[in-house]
Structure 1
Amino acid sequence: MQNLEEAELCFPQLLNISCKKHIRPQAEAMFIYIVLSSISLLTVALNLLVIISISHFRQLHTPTNLFILSLAVSDFLVGLLVMPFQILLTEPCWLLGDLVCALYYLLNFITLCASVFNMVLISVDRYVAICDPLHYPTKITAKRVQVCVFLCWGYSVFYSVMFLYDNLKQPGKYNSCYGECVINIIGPADLVLGFIIPISAITILYVRVFVVAVSQARAMRSHIISVTMKHSSTVTAKKSELKAARTLGIVVAVFLMCYCPYYCVSLSLVIGSSTEALMIFVAFFNSCLNPVIYALFYPWFRKSVKLIVTLEILQPHSCEANIL
């Protein structure tokens, strides 16, 4: 009887202060590990292709693509560091200690916050490009974009440390027994500052972008016959901006569909439940979907991936390749 009790504890030698195990069937555990590990590897590989593409090819060094690059970095970190630890959290016991638990949640918060505010920056970029195209080149410059990206990541780190300060100062403070990985945050404040406010900004900006884009598309169709060769470059530029707005709009919409369920579950106060764990992975899966959207809607991404996979980027002056 004693052996059976010990087998059900995370740390049998600690007995009463050790968490009880809830052991899954071996087949179910293997299935979860294989699926989640595959998603993690796919997320890393796809976002690495985005990072290499935009970093290597000079034609892709545009303000909009710098925002996409920043988003790809956060998605890459999710696949490389956050997802593997989240897989370990599906186990009955946390065996890596209180400090690693706190650092995992810190990294989780940083990447999540960075993703949300990168989406805000992308929405602002498309808003200016569509609603104020004449001033876009002067308002959205490469240097300003770099500063915005730097501030985005700096704020993400600051925000995450502030919300997890108590947990980082004393790791394991909120664990009720050995073998747990539990943190405590001010849920409503995080919901408002980390999700509701930025998501509201994204929604308002994209509603405005959608209205203007539709009116521009109608104007272009009604005047397409009267367009002369002199203005054809302007029309082409407008089409390019509208296509970029549509593609990035899909990215934002998918982002909302993946992250909203998690925050709704958090709001319903079922933290720590199996439902919450499922919603967390739905949110993380967004990091894998973004590169897939680029592959479907951006020809330059497909061309750059071909050059990367065939190792043609190793050739001299390959960064000057025409992929647009």
Structure 2
Amino acid sequence: MDFNNWTLLAGSRPQARVAEVGQRMLAWNVPPSQLVHIPEHWLVYPEPEASIHYLLGLLYMGFFVVACLGNGLVIWVFSTAKSLQTPSNIFVVNLAICDFVMMLKTPIFIYNSFARGYATGHIGCQIFAFMGSLSGIGAGMTNACIAYDRYTTIAKPFDGKLTRTKALFMVACIWAYTIPWGILPLVEVWGRFVPEGFLTSCTFDYLLDTFDNHLFVAVIFTFSYVIPMSLIIYYYSQIVSHVVSHEKALREQARKMNVESLRSNQNQQSTSVEIRIAKAAITVCFLFVASWTPYAVLALIGAFGNQALLTPGVTMIPACACKFVACVDPYVYAISHPRYRIELQKRLPWLAIKESANESQSTTTETSAAPPASTPTANT
């Protein structure tokens, strides 16, 4: 069938066509039966050059390999190493699972890119968007739980240690919170999943101009972005405030006692390791905020702003940012988590990782007693 000669029928929705000689529009190679699933907004844009599709496809291939390798190692090592099987690290594994799921959908994008369009059709689009919804919202709430864990460990060390049961319950709550936001648009009870940009990726429909869809965008924006980001900011701001106040009190006490520091060398070493772990957690959470903020802004513009600002190329920027963060997350832990590095060194010596066993042992990740008030720790 020759799709190049489709025309705009009077009184019907726009259909893909050739606007000028030699210029194809987006969805030029999409069968008419599939066009109903594509927002009209994208059908007025010209088809990008084939090299753009191929470049994005190669980029996503790189994302896929790097993210699956990194997150796969995190899931394997944290799940099987006894020294890392702590309640707090259940959240680390859950975050790696979310990032891993996010990258498992990239073969759909890669296939679409090399086919230059909506090649996997409506079914592929629904799978892609459903996996993206679960992994994205799940990662956000997992980061919020990690922030809560750091807060309770550092700011309230005597209020009770996080147990394995509590951590598993919190993970179950994360998925109970997340799954409805994937199912509702999947079955089109509220919202729907549609292709976006170059029609090679899919997400929830933020372009449909109806009251129900505007309400859906506002609600999912609140539950998937505002709530986890607010929790992350609150808990880490409390940690910073606590540490600053605590260090100030130590300095004042040391000055009164006419000594340089109240900390022993062992406590200083332990605190240094814990600060590295806390920095890793803060970095991961910052990456989440940085990666999903562009997508949140894009959705709000599509639903409530000037849709003309949303060109196909613009929408690919936040999509790539999210995939990039899913690649970076596990390597942040590889760089900053001493016990994880020790385990990698034992299991994969050819990686040539050099980590001091003494430094790893100084980490108070799984101490049986509550940490002393004079030494804030991060429970990872």
- Please give the range of the TM-score, normalised by the shorter of the 2 chains: 0.7 to 0.9
Which residue identity lines up with residue 35 of structure 1 in the other structure?
Answer: L
Structure-to-structure mapping, 1:75-154, within 5 angstroms: 75-81=99-105, 83-88=106-111, 90=113, 92-137=116-161, 140-154=162-176
> Any conservation in 2 of the 1:114–1:153 contact (CA below 8 Å)?
yes
Aligned to 2:244: 214
Q: Measured at CA, do residues 16 and 217 of structure 1 come closer, stay the same or move farther in structure 2, by a change above 3 Å?
A: closer
> Any conservation in 1 of the 2:100–2:326 contact (CA below 8 Å)?
yes
Which residue identity lines up with residue 132 of structure 2 in the other structure?
Answer: N
Aligned to 1:74: 98
1:268 aligns with one of 301, 306, 316: 301
Aligned to 2:218: 188
**How many Å apart are 1:11 and its aligned residue?**
4.4
Q: Measured at CA, do residues 290 and 217 of structure 1 come closer, stay the same or move farther in structure 2, by a change above 3 Å?
A: farther
**How far, CA to CA, are the matches of 1:211 and 1:74 in structure 2?**
30
**How far, CA to CA, are the matches of 1:169 and 1:58 in structure 2?**
44
Which residue identity lines up with residue 103 of structure 2 in the other structure?
Answer: G
Residue-by-residue CA offset, 1:209-255 (whole Å, 9 max, x unaligned): 111122234445664744569xx56x666555444322211111121
> Any conservation in 1 of the 2:191–2:204 contact (CA below 8 Å)?
no
Aligned to 1:61: 85
Work out whether 1:295 is the aligned partner of 2:317.
no
Q: Measured at CA, do residues 219 and 84 of structure 1 come closer, stay the same or move farther in structure 2, by a change above 3 Å?
A: farther
Q: Measured at CA, do residues 108 and 227 of structure 1 come closer, stay the same or move farther in structure 2, by a change above 3 Å?
A: closer
Task: Give the superposed CA RMSD.
Answer: 3.7
**How many Å apart are 1:154 and its aligned residue?**
2.7
**How many Å apart are 1:126 and its aligned residue?**
0.7
Q: Percent of aligned pairs with the same residue?
A: 18
**How far, CA to CA, are the matches of 2:201 and 2:172 in structure 1?**
35
**How far, CA to CA, are the matches of 2:174 and 2:326 in structure 1?**
18
Question: If the length of structure 2 is used for normalisation, what is the TM-score?
Answer: 0.68
**How far, CA to CA, are the matches of 1:226 and 1:15 in structure 2?**
70
Residue-by-residue CA offset, 1:165-222 (whole Å, 9 max, x unaligned): 31799988x99xx999675352111111211122112111111111112223444566
Question: If the length of structure 1 is used for normalisation, what is the TM-score?
Answer: 0.79
Which residue identity lines up with residue 108 of structure 2 in the other structure?
Answer: F
Q: Which runs of 5+ in 2 are unaligned?
A: 7-17, 19-23, 206-212, 255-259, 352-358, 362-380
Q: Which has the higher helix share?
A: 1
Residue-by-residue CA offset, 1:67-114 (whole Å, 9 max, x unaligned): 111101111111222x33334555643122323322321111111110
- Equivalent residue of 1:63, what SS? coil
Q: Measured at CA, do residues 38 and 305 of structure 1 come closer, stay the same or move farther in structure 2, by a change above 3 Å?
A: same
**How far, CA to CA, are the matches of 2:95 and 2:193 in structure 1?**
29
Work out whether 1:250 is the aligned partner of 2:269.
no
Q: Which runs of 5+ in 1 are unaligned?
A: 313-321
Greater RCO, CA 8 A, separation 6+: 1
- Equivalent residue of 2:29, what SS? coil
- Equivalent residue of 1:166, what SS? coil
2:179 aligns with one of 142, 157, 160: 157
